[in-house]
């Protein structure tokens, strides 16, 4: 018995030794020093300046916020200009001084300065910038030659792979941090094109625009955002290099982007929708509406279609489609497979350009008060759903519907709450208050007095509700 006990003890001792030493030693780099030394000359610190005009207060006191005197005396006092500065990071991709960074690092800047390898400072100019992807390209104003880095294949990067970040956090240029890829394909609500790499490499204010390197020294990401406002908590996000490369190429060539455009509004395919449509599983992107005269309209795409495949690429999740479409060349004719009437249909679509489309214009904000519409059949008042509603509530960007702003006591839906969003009625997507009125009124005119509506409650949970109309 003692002999066997010694054998077992020895086995577990050796097993523990293997997992605690040999297993990790093979994967973990002994040091990042050689790699960091090689890459440091290619990473730059970016500082920007901007002049802001303010008006000084001639009074020895401040009016309380909201006071009528605040507006009355707003124009008193002299205008003053003050210069503000901001810091960020970037990296060189061409020996002639082409630099990649984030758009938010240089947005609104009047002067841009780039410091190379913590030593020499150069003035830089904007080659092109793209707010949608948060990418900008700069050119160093110098005939000096620089040390570029190259892009790697971000699609080949795996969760658990080692990475290093180099940047200018809090103005501390040449800062190197390491970590692993924590997750892939993250969406955090910053833009319409989101496919972030998540990393636990320490990223802080000032790291924006800096590179995320793999162990070959290739750029696989552009560090863009962190979770939390007080500094790094081990959750940072980077734009994948494969997504960034085409944007960068277009900014260098044209000074702007040229994204593919379908002209559809889409939403998530839920399990309930998949079941109703006899689709094998919830996948693809459900077409909510088709813009008049758009490529999809001309190509025969209809509301209610579920886009399953685009240019031979299977669409598993709704969020994949906008990214794939945007990366496809404008003017190219693409085969699109859709699910319609419980069967697969193929359509050929010639892509338009997003930047010149009507879809690009609604991004402009307005201060107009929302128009209220009475839905007499339900005894409620509703308004159109806005982009601000979608962003503030964290809803999918493709969400369409109307917001309930008033409910009568005798309403057949008096158990609903103000702020609930009606997105469907009688299996029809609701894009405007008029859409809801049409469905309710047509039901009231028929023999059937029951309608099915689908809502988002105030916890953003989707609910199907049967309503009996009077």
Positions marked catalytic: 104, 134, 208
Q: Please, what's the b/e burial string for 112-151 (b: 16 or more CB within 10 A of its CB; e: otherwise)?
A: bbbbbeeeeebebebbbbbebbbbbbbbbeeeeebebbeb
Asked if residues 179 and 218 have their Cβ atoms less than 8 Å apart, the reply is: no
Using CA of residue 49, residue 51, residue 56, residue 62, what is the dihedral sign?
negative
Asked if residues 248 and 222 have their Cβ atoms less than 8 Å apart, the reply is: no
Using CA of residue 48, residue 108, residue 101, residue 33, what is the dihedral sign?
positive
Asked if residues 299 and 326 have their Cβ atoms less than 8 Å apart, the reply is: no
Instruction: Round to whole Å and give the CA distance between 78 and 55.
Output: 5
Mention every residue, 6+ apart, whose C-beta is less than 8 A from residue 340: 302, 304, 305, 306
Ranges assigned E (strand) in 200-354: 211-213, 219-226, 236-240, 260-261, 264-268, 285-290, 306-310, 313-314, 333-340, 343-350, 352-353
Specify the DSSP class assigned to residue 22. Answer: I
361 token code pair: 């214009």
417 token code pair: 């709450």
Mention every residue, 6+ apart, whose C-beta is less than 8 A from residue 282: 268, 269, 270, 271, 273, 274
Instruction: Round to whole Å and give the CA distance between 287 and 300.
Output: 12
The candidate with the shortest Cα–Cα distance to 288, out of 273, 299, 278, 298, is 273
Direct distance between the N- and C-terminal alpha carbons of the chain, in angstroms, rounded to an integer: 84
Instruction: Round to whole Å and give the CA distance between 331 and 326.
Output: 12
462-468 and 120-130 as β-strands: parallel, antiparallel, unpaired?
A: unpaired
Instruction: Round to whole Å and give the CA distance between 177 and 95.
Output: 25
Check residue 169 and give left, alpha or beta (phi > 0: left; psi -120 to 50: alpha): beta
Instruction: Round to whole Å and give the CA distance between 416 and 403.
Output: 11
């Amino acid at each position: 018995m003692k002999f066997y006990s010694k054998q077992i003890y020895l086995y577990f001792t050796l097993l523990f030794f293997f997992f605690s030493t040999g297993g990790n030693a093979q994967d973990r780099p002994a040091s990042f020093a050689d790699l960091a030394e090689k890459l440091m000359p290619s990473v730059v610190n970016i500082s920007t300046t901007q002049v802001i005009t303010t008006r000084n207060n001639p009074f020895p006191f401040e009016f309380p916020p909201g006071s009528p005197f605040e507006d009355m005396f707003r124009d008193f006092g002299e205008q003053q200009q003050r210069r503000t500065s901001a810091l960020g990071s970037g990296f060189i991709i061409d020996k002639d001084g082409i630099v990649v960074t984030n758009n938010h690092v240089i947005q609104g800047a009047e002067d841009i300065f780039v410091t190379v390898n913590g030593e020499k400072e150069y003035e830089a100019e904007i080659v092109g910038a793209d707010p949608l992807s948060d990418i900008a390209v700069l050119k160093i104003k110098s005939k000096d030659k620089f040390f570029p880095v190259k892009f790697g294949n971000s699609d080949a990067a795996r969760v658990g792979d080692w990475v290093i970040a180099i940047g200018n956090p809090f103005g501390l240029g040449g800062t190197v941090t390491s970590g692993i890829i924590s997750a892939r394909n993250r969406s955090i609500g910053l833009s319409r094109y989101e496919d972030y790499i998540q990393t636990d490499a320490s990223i802080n204010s000032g790291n924006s625009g800096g590179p995320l390197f793999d162990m070959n020294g290739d750029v696989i990401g552009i560090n863009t955002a962190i979770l939390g406002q007080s500094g790094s908590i081990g959750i940072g996000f980077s734009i994948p290099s494969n997504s960034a490369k085409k944007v960068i190429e277009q900014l260098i060539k044209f000074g702007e982007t040229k994204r593919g455009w379908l002209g559809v509004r889409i939403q998530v395919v839920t399990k309930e929708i998949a079941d109703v449509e006899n689709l094998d599983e919830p996948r693809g992107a459900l077409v909510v509406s088709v813009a008049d005269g758009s490529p999809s309209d001309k190509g025969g795409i209809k509301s209610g279609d579920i886009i399953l495949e685009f240019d031979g690429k299977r669409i598993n999740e709704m969020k994949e489609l906008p990214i794939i479409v945007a990366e496809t060349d404008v003017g190219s004719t693409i085969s699109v497979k859709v699910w319609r009437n419980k069967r697969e249909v193929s359509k050929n679509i010639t892509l338009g350009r997003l930047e010149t489309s009507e879809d690009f214009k609604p991004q402009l904000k307005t201060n107009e008060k929302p128009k209220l519409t009475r839905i007499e059949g339900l005894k409620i008042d509703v308004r159109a759903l806005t982009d601000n509603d979608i962003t503030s509530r964290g809803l999918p960007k493709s969400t369409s519907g109307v917001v309930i702003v008033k409910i009568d006591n005798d309403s057949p839906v008096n158990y609903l709450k103000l702020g609930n969003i009606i997105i469907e009625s009688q299996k029809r997507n609701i894009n405007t208050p008029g859409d809801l009125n049409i469905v309710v009124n047509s039901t009231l005119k028929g023999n059937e007095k029951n309608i099915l509506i689908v809502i988002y409650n105030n916890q953003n949970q989707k609910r199907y509700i049967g309503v009996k109309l009077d």
